[in-house]
Amino acid sequence: MPGRIILLNGASSSGKSLLARAIQARIATPFWHISIDHLRDSGVLPMARIKSGEFDWREMREAFFLGFERSLLAYVEAGNDLIVEHIMESESWLLRLADTLAGQDVFFVGVHCELAELERRERERGDRPIGDARRDFHRIHSYCLYDVEVDAMQDRDANAGAVIAAWRARSRPAAFDRLRERRDRG
């Protein structure tokens, strides 16, 4: 049986990781928690050599994200349930992922956070370029349709409960199906 995906989309520093861990801790079946940050922070990417300028991230970026997205399909086709963090930087990225995961059970969650709080978190973290959160805030939700949306300013456990309850009650067509239909209608 194919796996299922709970896909979290939110600005940098919006609390996707905390929400993913809260969902993973509460949901009744085992879900993997997958994110770009895990690949970056685990040593999969040669970050020291990218930071030194030896490797150009701009030249690697497209293949990296394409490979990440295709790996999600492989995990799901093997029967793994996933909670995935992603930042849908553009409508074309979103539609590419929707096409890659066509026919799969994808539950799309919008994670919203106030701009001032995003910027505060970004400064506190110190591991993100300043300005990423602001850029994301003004862009990433504008072209999305979601199955459920949460406010990251609210209690994390309450948000996890809301996502799980909405996921259990999910129906078709799901948000990814509607996104593809919207594109195909032109």
Which residues lie below 8 Å from residue 122, measured CB to CB, with a gap of 6+? 12, 13, 128, 130, 132, 133
Return the pLDDT at 1: 86
Angle (deg, nearest 10), helices 175-185 and 91-100: 110
In which residue ranges of the chain is pLDDT below 70?
Answer: none
Please give the model's pTM, rounded to 2 decimal places.
0.92
Return the pLDDT at 122: 85
Return the pLDDT at 132: 83
Q: How do beta strands 105-112 and 148-151 pair?
A: parallel
CATH of domain 4-185: 3.40.50.300
